[in-house]
A and B are shown apart, each in its own frame.
Chain A
Amino acid sequence: DAGITQSPRHKVTETGTPVTLRCHQTENHRYMYWYRQDPGHGLRLIHYSYGVKDTDKGEVSDGYSVSRSKTEDFLLTLESATSSQTSVYFCAISGYRDRAQKALESSTDTQYFGPGTRLTVL
């Protein structure tokens, strides 16, 4: 199994409070992702990172920010949590993908997921 941990695993907070979730990897993978999973919606990408200090938005990025100051850590921050952000949050990692060499890099496309963080915003 890929070495991915998420903390905390469970959190209950109140509307309007800031929350930071942490994803830590020991695989030295270049790409890291944050998803949320909600009933009926499947997983949706919030933000991703393609290197230290390099991040980009996903499908549902509003209300979230991320930071990646070192390869192994990817932080997801809810500046002011709302009840609509109650969800299960998953971090994922994948290897470097060079589209110019995708035939050689194909084995690194697999995404590996962490165990998830269940966040409840009251």
Chain B
Amino acid sequence: KQEVTQIPAALSVPEGENLVLNCSFTDSAIYNLQWFRQDPGKGLTSLLLIQSSQREQTSGRLNASLDKSSGRSTLYIAASQPGDSATYLCAVLGNGSDNNDMRFGAGTRLTVKP
């Protein structure tokens, strides 16, 4: 059974700082890994999706990396802003022949202070 862990559970940084969020998973046989953002009381918004054959994806100030062999992914946020405050979740989709069961981490709650 795939287990997804995110560390730290919460993080507070001053505005402008670069930061890294971590995600680890126990089964390296993945189809893809996705990073989401969730604002309080809202649904999830997809930020980046990395296919199993890829090593990283970038979108604006966000960069996500994937190391399947070690079961790790990181989300790098450059020049953080107060608007980045949210909970960030990573999710892993397995590589079975008919696997649609995406496994989520519990998330990292990020606070960026002005």
Q: Which residues of A contact B (CB under 8 A)?
A: 31, 33, 40-45, 48, 50, 56, 58-59, 90, 92, 99, 102, 106, 109-116
Contact of B100 among A41, A50, A90, A116 (CB under 8 A): A50
| Known A42-B105, A43-B89: A111·B43 in contact at CB below 8 Å | no
From B44-52, B60-68, B72-80, give the one contacting chain A: B44-52
Confirm or deny: B4 has a beta carbon within 8 angstroms of a beta carbon on chain A: yes
* Given the contacts A42-B89, A42-B105, A109-B32, A48 and B100 also touching, CB distance less than 8 Å: yes
| C-alpha spacing A114/B43, complex, angstroms | 6
Q: Is B32 within 8 A of A113, CB to CB?
A: no
B side interface size, CB within 8 A? 26
* A31 x B101 contact (CB < 8 A): no
- A43-B89, A114-B43 known; A99+B107 contact, CB < 8 A: no
Q: Which residue of A lies closest to B90 (CB)?
A: A42
In B1-60, the 8 Å CB interface with A consists of 4, 31-32, 34, 36, 41-46, 49, 51
